[in-house]
Structure 1
Amino acid sequence: MPPDRDLVAFVSLSTELYGAELSLLSLCKGMPASIVAPMGPLLEHATAAGLDTREIVEAEILALKKIGQSRSPLEVGQAIWRGSQRLRAMAIWDKRAVISFSQWLNPALALAAFGKSTPLVLDMHDGPFSGPGRLVQRASVKLADRSIFVSQSNGRAVIGSERPSKHPVVHRPIEVPQSLVAAKATTAPQGPLRVIYVGRLDPEKRVHLLLQSAERVGFDHLSVTVVGESTATENMSATMAALHPKGSFLGSVGRHVALEHMSRSDVLVTPAQGEAFGRTVFEAALLGIPAVVDSSAAAAELIVDGVSGWVLGGKTPWTRLDDLLRTLAAEPQTVARVGSEARRRLGSLVDPDYVRAQYWAELPGNVEAVRA
């Protein structure tokens, strides 16, 4: 293990192992990284991977995860200040750099870093933000030494059209099991069009647009599988299943199971607006599955409409999804062609080795040269 002065401390409030955390572990693979987080799957996997780890137990820091809930501005400010004082006292400032890997940590770490010689980097992979949230994140970005955005649209949402060199864009590393890639490559679309949605079932994800469209098109022409659960409403998948009995609602499943269902699908539909990255779009692309995304989502910047996927919203309203699904159900060769192009164009952008080299080269002091 390198000495502390050569390590980069990634600080997170996550106790789970979702897409962002998987990307974090991939970014740190073989690199001089230290993971600082509460006890949970992220810290456990980091320890198992041989990374330097430190558990967050301080109540004032853990409380920062709640600042996004309904609180008065005064309470939010007090929570950020108390958290910043605890973060300032933590043994992380002897590292080569400190990276905030949680939107809730950004303002507190930005204050904690004031006057410190250790550079602070904000990893901006969250969004979209509310109006007040965007202002807080923008202030944090201005205080930090550098911010790394996950997409161009993510950057514009926080700092506007300005694109200074201290705010580079680096995508996330993504891998899918090669066994699923091989299985998908030998399976041509057949029968009804198999449509899938993977993600949270919260209102802002707008899954109802897909379900209503499927009802209008008719389940003689397609099937719909919904993988995921709501973080705000209990048993939302069961509620949706009662409203749309012809759909298949699997609830919350592990990532590998979700990818297995994705590999048996033909098209991914993600109607959410303003997605900061859109991990499932890239996972689908790696499997050769094209996606339908909203024009405001980050993935829309990288998709050529009708060539490597489809873009709805804006000048092409989501009511056009009906026609698109009917067309794709009747033209399996189009689905296969666009899926192949999605793999070629999007897959290379999230190659772990390529992204990891990009990311570490953007850190202050070019720590990419200091390997574990």
Structure 2
Amino acid sequence: MSAADAVPHSSGAQSGWTVLAAHPGAELFGSDRMLRESVAGLREAGARVVVAVPSAGPLIDELIALGAEVVIAPTLVLRKALLRPSGWLRLIRETFRGLGSAWRIARRVRPDVLYVSTITIPLWPVVARLRGIPAVSHVHEAEASASRIVNRLLYLPHLLSDGVLVNSRFSQATIRRALPRLAARSEVVLNGVAGPHRPDLPRTTPEGALRVLYMGRLSPRKGPDLVISAAALLAGEGIAVDVTLVGDVFPGYEWFRDELHAQASATPDQVSVTFAGFQPDVWSYVAATDVVVVPSRIDEPFGNTAVEAVLGLRPVVVADTSGLREAAGSYPTAWLVPVDQPSAISAELKAIAESWADVRAELAGSRAEALRRHAPESYRATVRHHIERAAPSRSEVGAAAVRRGSRR
């Protein structure tokens, strides 16, 4: 559906205020799931929620099920390729196209608040300021290793927002190094991570092949190849390993998927690698595994997957970096390993298998702590509070709508 079309789905009874949420995609990875939780919290409060996304995807059905309305419309999504000289012409073209699209959506929806999900859609805070709409930006990205100038440019448009939420202290510190003024206005809201209601403990003993699970994007920065390499090292010690990779590549990264298949084909006979593809529900895979590995090579703003492993009653091996350390570092059933070292992953997997009974006994306690820290209900309520705080008071909502209508 184009930006010029009417939004297609009715959201039922409303409380008299409207939130327009802008998001850069429609998949079901980390930030997509957080957008879904934010929308759920707003809908629980009776708000009308309209979500603008640039493409179709599985997230849309989830949003519609919550009672949100969805508009598919072009927008500028900042990718690294657009910041290189070879991408500047496309950057300019998508900027003008995205500005027009966002302007028309805002004019049609007439929101009381704009919720900007992620920093990769920089035009929305600009449109909100030009149209006099209060805005809240939610930062789900942080690369401390990136150029300070690049980070500053990414964060700069969000100075125009009335509120700024960040998903970890690491993200906040990364913003502070690039744009202290924005960091000073930001507030940390830990991700709400949903887990299975009644997960089963893993098998009593890891007999036969050790079952290892990777969940997430298949990309070089996420490091799924490190899991295969670690499995091959274990096979060299006579330990059989079954690796399952749940996830898929970004469009344009099919070459990396091919490399992973080639790598898997070259592993010893004691290693089995299953490519499960993208799965909207990962819990059956978690239930079937012994250990989850989160091996990212590059900074991560947070570690939803690590928390999901804990919630699923599974030990997890995590790269000792950035937001992953913050997400998993304090659980007794999470082990941090040096970045980009498959030998460290294999050593930890072997150690976990060898102390299986002790590890298994700690899993329930780790899950209880994760439930306390990352309850989706608490996340929804906190995000909703910040969005409501940015909105005109409930008594002013109707008058504000009239004023905006008169300007149009």
Give the TM interval when normalised to the shorter protein: 0.7 to 0.9
User: Deviations along 1:136-167, whole A, 9 cap, x unmatched?
Assistant: 22212323222211111122223329585631
Q: Find the counterpart in structure 1 of residue 139 from structure 2.
A: 124
What are structure 1's unaligned runs of at least 5 residues? Answer: none
**Residue range with higher mean Cα deviation, 292-301 or 279-288:** 292-301
Residue 333 of structure 1 aligns to a residue whose secondary structure is helix
**Aligned-pair distance for 1:121?**
1.5
Instruction: State which of 216, 221, 225 in structure 1 corresponds to 2:233.
Output: 216
Measure the CA separation in 2 of the matches of 1:368 and 1:177: 37
1:360 matches 2:381: no
Shift of 1:265: 1.6
After superposition, where does 1:194-213 map in structure 2 within 5 Å?
194-213=211-230
2:193 equivalent among 174, 182, 186: 174
Matched, 1:22 2:29: no
Matching of residue 97 in structure 1 with residue 113 in structure 2: yes
Aligned mates of 1:91, 1:155 — CA distance in 2: 29
Q: Which residue of the partner structure matches residue 8 of structure 1?
A: 19
Alignment partner of 1:88 is 2:103:
yes
1:194, distance to aligned residue in structure 2 (A): 2.4
113-122 or 74-83: which moved more?
74-83
| C-alpha distance in 1 between matches for 2:189 and 2:330 | 22
Following superposition, the deviation at residue 54 of structure 1 comes to 4.0
Query: Quick one: distance in 1 between partners of 2:295 and 2:37?
Result: 27
Shift, 1:318, TM fit: 5.8
CA distance in 2 between partners of 1:40 and 1:21 (Å): 10
1:241 to 264, 273, 279: 264
Which residue number corresponds to residue 6 of structure 2?
none
- What residue in structure 1 maps to residue 293 of structure 2? 269
Deviations 1:316-372 (A, max 9, x none): 9664333322211211023213433331222322211111112112225266997xx
Residue in 2 aligned with 1:346? 370
Taking structure 1 as reference, are residues 345 and 368 closer, same or farther at Cα in structure 2, changes over 3 Å only?
farther
SS at match of 2:387: coil
1:176-208 Cα shifts (integer Å, max 9, x gaps)? 3335x1xx2374343143221112221111223
Match of 1:35 in 2: 51
The number of residues matched between the two structures is 359
Distance 1:318 1:145, change over 3 A: farther
Instruction: Report the Cα distance in structure 2 between the residues aligned to 1:268 and 1:369, rounded to whole angstroms.
Output: 46
Code of the residue aligned with 1:339 in structure 2: it is: L
State the TM-score, normalized to the length of structure 1: 0.83
Listed one character per residue, the Cα deviations across residues 235-255 of structure 1 (whole Å, up to 9, x for unaligned) are 434223213252322241423
Q: Deviations over 1:212-240 (max 9, x none)?
A: 22222227435232222332125434223
Task: State the Cα distance separating 1:302 from its structure 2 match.
Answer: 3.7
Closer, same or farther: CA 48–255 of 1 in aligned 2, 3 Å = closer
Distance in 1 (alpha carbons) for counterparts of 2:334 and 2:262: 30
Amino acid in the other structure paired with 1:86: S
Find the aligned partners of 1:358 and 1:329 in 2 and give their Cα distance: 39
1:334 aligns with 2:355: no
Matched-pair contact (CA < 8 Å) for 1:267–1:292: yes
1:158 to 163, 175, 183: 175
State the SS of the aligned residue for 2:221: helix
Give the SS at the match of 2:132: coil
After TM superposition, the score normalised by the length of structure 2 is 0.77
Distance 1:113 1:186, change over 3 A: closer
CA-atom RMSD in angstroms = 3.1
1:65 is aligned, of 49, 71, 77, to 77
2:8 maps to: none
Counterpart Cα distance in 1 of 2:374 and 2:385: 16
Contact 2:195/2:308 (CA < 8 Å) preserved in 1?
yes
Task: Write the distance in 2 (CA, Å) between the matches of 1:271 and 1:19.
Answer: 16
Does the CA-based 8 Å contact 1:150-1:276 persist in structure 2?
Answer: yes
Identity %: 19
The corresponding residue for 1:278 is: 303
Secondary structure of 1:111's partner? helix
Q: Which runs of 5+ in 2 are unaligned?
A: 1-11, 395-408
SS of match in other structure, 1:211: helix
- 1:294 maps to 319
Secondary structure of the 1:69 match is helix
Q: Which moved more, 1:73-82 or 1:31-40?
A: 73-82
Q: 1:340 to 1:368 in 2, by over 3 A?
A: farther
Between stretches 120-129 and 198-207, larger displacement belongs to: 120-129
User: Secondary structure of the residue that 1:255 maps to in structure 2?
Assistant: coil
Structure 2 CA distance for aligned equivalents of residues 165 and 14 of structure 1 = 28
Specify the alignment match of 2:157 in structure 1.
Answer: 140
Query: What amino acid does structure 1 have at the position aligned with 2:137?
Result: L
